[in-house]
Structure 1
Amino acid sequence: MKEKNTTRDVYDAVADPTRRKILDLLANVAEMPLHELTVHFQIGRTAVSKHLTILKDAGLVISRKVGRETRYRLNAAPLQEIQDWVTYYTKFWNEKIMLLHQLLQEEEEMPKVSLDFQFNSSIERVWLALTDSKILAKWVMDNDFKPIVGHKFQFRTKPNKVWDGIVDSEVLVVDQPNKLSYTWITAGESTTVTWTLKEVDKTTHLHLEQTGFEKEGHAYHGAKQGWVLMGGKLEQVLTEL
């Protein structure tokens, strides 16, 4: 955007609605005397004249004498300064919107685990199974989970040759009993697990989404198979509550 060295303040001149209306009136005629401009406002001739002076100082209005009468006409050239300013920020935001669209498109293309479960248990009981550390240990892994946003915890199980058996997590969302979300960081993958609950006709519908996988590789398929197995364990745990 070009910087201009100028003493006039075009932005201040057009900031007032009365002055903008004067410009609109002058834009539709070749020129107009003060008394004809004044009839379009609920203010006196002196007040309109003061607004015209500000517009003249900004170079937006030019006047000329015709006998004893002063006529005014629009000079739109200084408005280019505002147009340049708006164009600069329009380009700025267009680039940001394009970047956001690209990011959203990339996110949609990334693989995610999406599973649905149904349980003949109340939504409160399913929520308890998702948030009570001791119950979680029965169908997921040992843990030190607490349903508090910002709480950092771990899921832990026996390590093997390719995995240390540790999942580092942080609670992101706790909306009892409708939504629970936490990070799931393990084996080089940083993902997010989100549980969404809804109860319909005494049946609790539980939806799982795990997002953030870089590719549809071993970690993705392992997570999908793992949650299917854990969903079966959860059903058994719910019958025992």
Structure 2
Amino acid sequence: MPFNHENLKVYQRTLPFNAKVAIWTDQWERRHALCDQLSRAAASMLENIAVASAAYSTMKLRGLDFAIGSSLECAACLDLARIKQLLDIKSAHKEKEELSRILRMLVGLRKSWALSGQSVRETSAEYSTQGEEVDKAHDKARDKEDGESALFHHETLDVYKVGIQAATALCSSDTVARLPNPVFRRLDQLLTSMVLNIAEGNGRFSDADQARFLGTSHESAIKLAARLDLCVTQNLLPQDEVNGWKVLLERVSVMTSSMIVGIQR
């Protein structure tokens, strides 16, 4: 007798994505924080769908919330993989389209469970919510409609765009690439955290969760700026390059702080 989650189409769809993630990360240099983050996020998406299908009451929805957040984190990881040239543009976009479909299914399943007493079943339309009013929280988590350049809502946020600009600037620097592994690793961890937490926080359903993820992104931007100062002091990075990067990091810190204040009002 199969487990409940084995009957879910969205679960079956996350299996091949996880298999691809394992292949990619096995080929990438381990110095990239992205390797651990993408592996963890993909596994979290898979496992939380399974756990949610067996849970009771509100814990079912909570499990799907985690899976939704992890799908957004995976999407941001693919953006970073493209920036780092670990995946080519075409491949990254194709995989993001697949994640977009998975996200639609997760959000639709969450809505279906919430409206039907949280029984484990799927609709014939694979959780389509077209033609129905979708509340603000669901709308924020859903990917953009076909025909728009952005596949995910967080991609339209100015703060995410600036975060991606900062990532592009640092990852294209030859001096950063030549840093000793421990130094590079710490900078990359903070940069990755800054970007991923913006994406995941934007898809969370509660104000508290949104503020928490934005707070982590905010702290990561500030910590990264401090680490860059240390690299200048140690003559590992040139001051002029670092000054340009810190302008972008300051913008991220200001915008995330403002967003947190807006949520908490």
TM range (shorter): under 0.3
Name the structure with the higher helix share. 2
If asked which structure has higher relative contact order (CA below 8 Å, sep 6+), I would say 2
Name the structure with the higher strand share. 1
TM norm structure 2: 0.20
Bigger radius of gyration among the two: 1
TM norm structure 1: 0.21
